[in-house]
């Protein structure tokens, strides 16, 4: 018998304000045509001034708990993947713990930027597998708009705010890919690329939060390569062939990167969950937002194989194979 983490439910939250490409074209020298053609993005949600990452995360958490049909007090672990915590410390996760009325169990944040959700999923899965947790709330939440330089057209058009959450529960399987739950997770990083996608500040260096700086083409090139490699690794680990994957739910950074991975897997667009057009890149929130979208509209069905992949600053990248 093998201990597995099964996804009991998922939830999401998007701030009410929608900013279109045309809205941005009034602020910087860009166009709806350029943004759509180069990225696939049409619009993004932006948090209100008084809305914090924990507000978004809590709304997604309530939605996930409701979707799973469980009470918050049955959780024993909360992990929040975020690059934009409410405060430098404590972790946003402990704020969620308190807001859910809990003082048992443990809560902490994970920081792997756009790969954050895959990292948090792997961490929670491993805690469950070794028996240190039974029910985990895993959230990806970002107010990435707070890190943007709204005068820099090369970055400000790419990102949005939002939160997604899932509930994991310990179960037992036989140890092969016929089991339900997380079948495998695959994490990688290469810190030599620290400066290719970063903020130009931080609490331990400038004492400021800083703004996003990105060498777009460099990130693009590495994303295509690393995602291709990690997807191969994930399939090989589970003895799966691409045709056995029902759904690809990728990090939503650029439609062209998503299309590249789908093409490699020979997956038609109908089997790829994309939210980038309306959400833009919500960093750690993008995969759980996409999962919640596809679960709620009935695309993800019990027993199907779902492949997640992500790449972000660091560089960090990773993948997960889940039987829904
Ligand atoms: O989630 C974390 C991972 N992040 C990513 O995976 C992002 C990866 N990178 C990308 O998605 C793409 O590199 C971008 C979307 C960021 C940029 O697309 P690109 O096709 O690589 O464009 P580029 O950087 O080569 O720029 C092409 C041209 C440049 O002008 P010149 O030098 O050819 O005259 C840019 O100055 O487009 C210009 N440009 C813009 N024009 C209008 C750059 N940003 C804009 C803009 N509007 N917003």
Q: Using CB atoms within 10 A of its CB, is residue 41 exposed (0-12), middle (13-18) or buried (19+)?
A: buried
Q: What's the CA angle centered on 169, arms 166 and 171, to 5 degrees?
A: 145
Task: pLDDT band for 238, please (50, 70, 90 cuts).
Answer: very high
Contact indicator for 48, 17 with CB cutoff of 8 Å: yes
pLDDT of residue 294: 98
> What DSSP line would sit under 134-169, residue for residue?
SEEEEEEEEEGGGG--TT-HHHHTTB-EEEEEEEEE
Q: Which residues pair with 306 in a beta bridge?
A: 247, 322
Catalytic residue among 10, 21, 45, 114: 114
pLDDT of residue 266: 93
**53 alpha carbon to ligand 1 midpoint, in Å?**
27
pLDDT of residue 33: 98
Q: What's the CA angle centered on 5, arms 287 and 139, to 5 degrees?
A: 35
Cα–Cα distances in angstroms (integers) from residue 262 to residues 5, 143, 247, 268, 270, in the given order? 26, 28, 10, 7, 10
Asked if 114 is an active-site residue, the reply is yes
Sorted by where each begins, the domain ranges of the chain are 2-173, 181-323
pLDDT of residue 123: 98
- The pLDDT > 90 percentage for the chain reads 100
Topology (CATH) of 181-323: Peroxisomal Thiolase; Chain A, domain 1 (3.40.47)
pLDDT of residue 67: 98
Tens of pLDDT, residue by residue over 173-230, are: 999 999 999 999 999 999 999 999 999 999 999 999 999 999 999 999 999 999 999 9
Does domain 2-173 fall under CATH 3.40.47.10? My reply is yes
Task: pLDDT band for 306, please (50, 70, 90 cuts).
Answer: very high
pLDDT of residue 183: 98
Asked if 156 is an active-site residue, the reply is no
pLDDT of residue 30: 98
Ligand 1 atom 43: residue of nearest CA: 154
pLDDT of residue 43: 98
Catalytic residue among 45, 186, 222, 251: 251
Q: Which of 22, 32, 154, 190 to mutate to test the pocket of ligand 1 (most atoms within 8 A of CB)?
A: 154
Tens of pLDDT, residue by residue over 78-106, are: 999 999 999 999 999 999 999 999 999 99
């Amino acid at each position: 018998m093998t201990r597995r983490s099964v996804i009991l439910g998922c939830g999401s939250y998007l701030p009410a304000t929608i900013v279109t490409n045309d809205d941005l074209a009034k602020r910087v020298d860009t166009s709806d045509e350029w943004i759509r053609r180069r990225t696939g993005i049409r619009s993004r949600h932006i948090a209100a001034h008084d809305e914090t990452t924990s507000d978004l995360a809590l709304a997604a958490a309530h939605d996930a708990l409701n979707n799973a049909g469980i009470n918050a007090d049955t959780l024993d672990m909360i992990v929040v993947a975020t690059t934009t915590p409410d405060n430098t410390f404590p972790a946003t996760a402990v704020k969620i713990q308190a807001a859910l009325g809990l003082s048992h169990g443990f809560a902490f944040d994970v920081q792997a930027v756009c790969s954050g959700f895959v990292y948090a999923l792997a961490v929670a899965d491993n805690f469950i597998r070794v028996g240190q947790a039974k029910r985990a709330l895993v959230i990806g939440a970002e107010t990435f708009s707070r890190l943007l330089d709204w005068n820099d057209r090369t970055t400000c058009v790419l990102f949005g705010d939002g939160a997604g959450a899932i509930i994991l529960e310990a179960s037992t399987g036989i140890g092969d890919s016929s089991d339900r739950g997380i079948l495998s997770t695959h994490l990688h990083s290469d810190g030599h690329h620290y400066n290719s996608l970063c903020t130009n500040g931080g609490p331990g260096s400038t004492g400021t939060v800083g703004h996003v700086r990105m060498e777009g083409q460099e990130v693009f090139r590495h994303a295509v390569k690393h995602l291709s490699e990690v997807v191969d690794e994930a399939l090989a680990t589970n003895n799966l062939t691409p045709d056995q994957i029902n759904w690809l739910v990728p990090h939503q950074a650029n439609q062209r990167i998503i299309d590249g991975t789908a093409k490699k897997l020979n997956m038609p667009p109908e089997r790829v969950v994309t939210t980038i057009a309306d959400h833009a890149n919500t960093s750690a929130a993008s995969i759980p937002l996409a999962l919640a979208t596809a679960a709620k509209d009935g695309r993800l069905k019990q027993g199907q194989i779902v492949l997640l992949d992500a790449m972000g600053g660091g560089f960090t990248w990773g993948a997960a194979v889940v039987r829904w």
